[in-house]
Amino acid sequence: MFLPGSQHCVILALLVCTALPPAVFGQRPVPSPGTTNRGATALNGGDPTIDMDVYVRGADGAPIEVTAVVTLTSPTGQVAGQGTTLGGNIKFSGLAASSYTIQVVAPGYENAIEEFNSYNSGAARVTIAMRPASNVEKAAAGPSRIMLAPKAQKELGKALEALRANKPADARSHLDAAYRLAPNHPAVNYLFGAYFSQLKDLEKAKSYWTKTLEFDPKHTSALLALSEALMRERRLPDAESYVKRAVDADPSSWRAHAILAEVRLQQQQAEEAIKQAERALELGHGEAANVQPLLARALVESGNKERATKVLQEYVQNHPENAGARKQLESLQISAPAVSPNVAAAAVEVKPASAAAVAEVKTSTATEMAVAPPLPSSWLPPDVDETVPAVEPGAVCALDEVLQKTGKRVLEFVKSVDRFTANEFLKHESINKSGVAGSPETRKFNYVVAIEETRPGILNVEEYRLHGDSPVEFPGGVATLGLPALALIFHPYNAGNFEMSCEGLGRWNGQPVWQVHFRQRADKPNTFREYRIGQNGPAFPVGVRGRAMIATDSYQILRMETDLVAKIPQIRLVADHMVVEYGPVSFRNRNVQMWLPQTAELYSEWKGHRIHRIHSFSNYLLFSVDEKQQISAPKEK
């Protein structure tokens, strides 16, 4: 970043070079685009085989108009086939002649499950009747969306940033100003509660949080703050009431499930505590790792010390700085039975614990490990792992198949596209310490991207803007490079570098999508994102985690959202949040579509400097690898 009086810049780059061996995936036949009944061939073939036509009908007997996801599950529980309907129909070919459970999930309808039995080869026709879902829907979770007047919003933003910096004295005047302007707004009252909480005046804090709920009964942060405070006071029935309301208001909040797990454990309901802790870990991915010591305590109470020890060993290995967890592990290993050499070799080395240490561990709680929700930022979006977007309950997601088909789409793009050009519009805002954006700066670029596999396993992506890729053409000297490369996370060369999990069947812009969470693996090379100080200066790899929305019919990536795996203290990088939305782009001379970024939004904070940047792309031209036309470097507008 070019700063006043400085002679350096920062480059925010996405890298795509990798030397990993190509991954091998099973291929499933893809029906031609003109086929009326789109196929979803079975994963596990057999002899004899059957072809199954599934027809999905509404209450009137006509094909449903919305897209439905149909999943076939074998008697062993394996997903045998999965796909989406077109005109209420889907065909599965080459299935092993056996029995299957057919599940159909469609928006606006109740989920349908039907058993199918056929041990004879040939063809089968199955009709599934769908029942309309109830029109009663839960209100949206989270804080109230009541708008604040601009002046009140500005004062609240300044108060929020002061509280996030743990400076309550600086926040008070802004809170008072916001309260005078909007005394009945839930966000203002919630922040007043946070203010008094920082002053250790929990009675006043609870009174403001209670008032918050009078104006917004589903304010999740207030419900969690109250439940945690009451739990610390051992007022378990009251704490239980508030945290159950939080779970109802936002079922995807891992923090709500974590606090409920602690409440259940204190109520001596170990099995329910285990269930809630595991749900918190599932929803929060790596960000909920501090729930593992709580899970271990619940496992001990249920009598499963062996699993509790394994959970703690994993946690302490990844968080060696947590002295409380180490003591908890020590207390378990004092009385733990002998383990096999392989397990012992992987175990974390600990020293025998004293009786006092054991007693200290027993009195600790999970909520002392920052389970309570953090104060929201006035300029940053919520962390990608704070909540999980809603998914259809019970919908089965075949992760391996989703990754294989999505990887195939990415492979098609890399193999087909040599270069592409676009017009790029950039809007840049600098954010001050109060969270207020300055006057926006804008740029327009002619943009060219070249993609080449230089040798097997090595992908090279180069970008050109104006007369080159020099970052001095960007506002503030901050260059944003590699945005089109983000989707290459799903390329078979790279997918193995990430922990992948399917969160379920969701919706994006009205379209059914598979929600896939990804996280950079600590034991694999980071080949995607880095911060570089100067064009030839030191580079700092940045691990990313996030979520991709993948279309259930085409397996194209529609949206990706990322955050940091960990902060980078060397450059004081504390925030890097990116959202990229994709849309279809056609070849210049072919009836083929590829999906490329339409917009990319970036929020970053490093060395105290905050930026918000929006890239918009239009007028794409794609050039295939077999086209001979030369593409010159872009000219300055």
Q: Which domain holds residue 207?
A: 148-216
96 and 19 within one domain: no
115-154 pLDDT per residue, tens: 888 766 678 889 998 988 764 333 333 444 566 677 888 8
DSSP-based three-state secondary structure for 448: strand
78 and 17 within one domain: no
pLDDT of 10: 53
114 and 204 within one domain: no
DSSP state of 377: P
* Residue 229 within a domain: no
* Residue 606 within a domain: yes
* Residue 230 within a domain: no
472 and 564 within one domain: yes
* Phi, psi (rounded to 5 degrees) for 349: -70, 130
Strands 529-533 and 539-541: antiparallel
524 and 435 within one domain: yes
Helical spans, DSSP H, in 335-437 = 341-346, 355-362, 399-416
* Residue 375 within a domain: no
Rounded Cα–Cα distance for residues 400 and 398 (Å): 6
63 and 119 within one domain: yes
* Residue 44 within a domain: no
Which of these, 46, 45, 60, lies nearest to 109 by C-alpha position?
60
Which of these, 352, 379, 371, 405, lies nearest to 516 by C-alpha position?
405
Rounded Cα–Cα distance for residues 35 and 32 (Å): 6
CATH number of the domain at 152, please.
1.25.40.10
DSSP-based three-state secondary structure for 502: strand
CATH number of the domain at 123, please.
2.60.40.1120
495-550 pLDDT per residue, tens: 999 999 999 999 998 889 999 999 999 898 887 788 877 777 788 888 999 999 99
Last residue of one domain, picked from the residues 129, 160, 185: 129
170 and 54 within one domain: no
CATH number of the domain at 440, please.
2.50.20
pLDDT of 348: 42
Q: Is 294 exposed, middle or buried (0-12, 13-18, 19+ CB in 10 A)?
A: buried
Count: domains in the chain: 3
203 and 56 within one domain: no
pLDDT at 78 exceeding the cut of 50: yes
586 and 478 within one domain: yes
15 and 85 within one domain: no
* Residue 247 within a domain: no
454 and 572 within one domain: yes
To the nearest whole percent, how much of the chain has pLDDT over 70?
Answer: 79
Verdict on whether the full-model pTM lies above 0.85 = no
- The answer to whether 379 touches 604, Cβ cutoff 8 Å, is no
Last residue of one domain, picked from the residues 199, 216, 233: 216
* Residue 162 within a domain: yes
* Residue 31 within a domain: no
pLDDT of 9: 46
594-613 pLDDT per residue, tens: 888 999 999 999 888 899 99
460 and 547 within one domain: yes
Last residue of one domain, picked from the residues 70, 94, 129: 129
